[in-house]
Amino acid sequence: MTSVALLAQDDLAAVFAWRPEGPVSVADYLADVHALAGRLPASGHLLNLCHDRYRFAVGFAAGLLRGMTSLQPSSQSAETFRRLRDDYPDLLALCDGATDTLDLPRFDFPELVGDRSASAIPHIPADRLAAILFTSGSTGLPQAQRKTWGKLAQNGRAEAIALGLDRTPHVLVGTVPVQHSYGFESTFLLALQGGCAFWAGKPFYPQDIASALAAVPQPRLLVTTPFHLSALLASGIDLPAIDLLLSATAPLSTPLAADAEARTGAPLLEIYGSTESGQLASRRTTEGAAWTLLPGVRLEQTADDTLACAGHVEGRVALSDVIELLPDNRFLLHGRHADLINIAGKRTSLAYLNHQLGAVPGVVDGAFFLPDEEGADGITRLTAFVVAPGLSARQITAALRQRIEAIFLPRPLVLVDELPRNSTGKLPRSGLQALYTDRLGHGRG
């Protein structure tokens, strides 16, 4: 049985993480991992709810050493906890704050003391089930995705190579939760397998992001989302030097990417992937629409379906996007299969409509929504929810009329104070459905 080192970094004195009280070395991280592992069960599932990224890292590795599998839901709602309790009765919730875990078995992150001497880097069997990640539920109920340690380690190394971090490690500051697949890969796995250090916090507000960046040395990489990035730029606050920007979880417009690069002086790269497949490709948005596959990954097509395989992908994973393959391991995205819309014989995609809506001057945030039910004439009417202080629905509709065909104009267009985005900036369909029901009265008895 082959095994893979927990960390690619073999310098025990190197900085593994940055916390408010200062840097944490690789040796100190390993000491904390062993100290926590001694207090955990010898098997079962570890529901790692730690908000502090360093404590999450300690908990994940400690569980891995004990043979536990890390459960990483994208939501920490009561309904999510009930489903996990039913599906994984041997789970233990690891917490580092006031999280309400209902009646789940709970273990609060302890004060770790013990031997601080240097320790060898542990090796883990490559085929060990290390984590179960869950889809966000954007198109239905969250689905469990099983990840082995060998593939996770390969994932982190592939991203480091694609982003050039294998040559120049950066300090990672992430605005996304570490439990989410993007945050897990691009702040945690990059630290383990890409030789990068990371900031332990999860800054959300612009001033907090600026403070986090200022707390770590250069070179700095800000791991964020279009939603967080837009809010950061709109705040107008002064930012410490940023050397690289990384975005994922939602489409990033070229104007926003260009603005971010102009404001920070840093190149902005995007990551494409999914919880099911892991990250698959990257691109610099301002240099064109084509994506380049991460090392080792391969795409195969049968008719209209595209499958990801090889490299760090677990098995063969069908992708939900319409993809056009190009030479040299590159491809173009043409929207999600589920986003494709056909109204009265005319076709478009929700991604295209959302892009046009977001390009209307004065629109801060917005999304089209396609209800399940048809209208009286047998045609499904698109709805749009829009955050646009200072604009009327009539003004926005008039601007959209110049951008999209009349058949796709929203009927109605509803102004709201905010959209029900989750912590990674995504808009689950369930949230839009609830907003649709609440604001338009559909589905009420």
79: left (phi over 0), alpha (psi -120 to 50) or beta: alpha
**Residue 243: partners with Cβ closer than 8 Å, 6 or more residues away:** 170, 218, 219, 220, 221, 266
pLDDT of residue 315: 95
CB 354 within 8 A of CB 404: no
Helix 226-235 to helix 254-264 angle (10° resolution) is 50
Half-sphere exposure of 126 (CA within 13 A, CB side): 11
pLDDT of residue 137: 55
| Matching residue, tokens 């697949």 | 181
Q: Do domains 3-335 and 344-440 have the same CATH topology?
A: no
CB 123 within 8 A of CB 62: no
CB 47 within 8 A of CB 22: no
CB 43 within 8 A of CB 178: no
Is 79 exposed, middle or buried, given 0-12, 13-18 or 19+ CB atoms closer than 10 A? exposed
pLDDT of residue 443: 45
**Closest among 64, 68, 26, 48 to 109, alpha carbons compared:** 48
**Residue 385: partners with Cβ closer than 8 Å, 6 or more residues away:** 366, 367, 369, 414, 416, 419, 432, 435, 439
Domain residues of the chain, as ranges? 3-335, 344-440
CB 149 within 8 A of CB 67: no
pLDDT of residue 376: 44
pLDDT of residue 55: 97
What string of pLDDT tens digits covers the 445 residues of the chain? 699 999 998 899 999 999 999 999 999 999 999 999 999 998 899 999 999 999 999 999 999 999 999 999 877 778 888 889 999 999 999 999 888 888 899 999 999 876 677 679 999 999 999 999 988 655 456 789 999 999 999 999 999 999 999 999 999 999 999 998 999 999 999 999 999 999 999 998 999 999 999 999 999 999 999 889 988 999 999 999 999 999 998 888 888 999 999 999 999 999 999 999 999 999 999 999 999 999 999 999 988 789 999 999 999 999 988 899 999 999 998 876 667 777 755 667 787 788 889 889 999 999 999 887 655 444 567 999 999 999 999 999 999 998 888 888 998 999 999 999 887 777 888 888 889 988 887 543 3
pLDDT of residue 341: 75
pTM of the model: 0.81
Per the CATH hierarchy, to which homologous superfamily does domain 3-335 belong? ANL, N-terminal domain (3.40.50.12780)
344-440 has which CATH code? 3.30.300.30
pLDDT of residue 402: 87
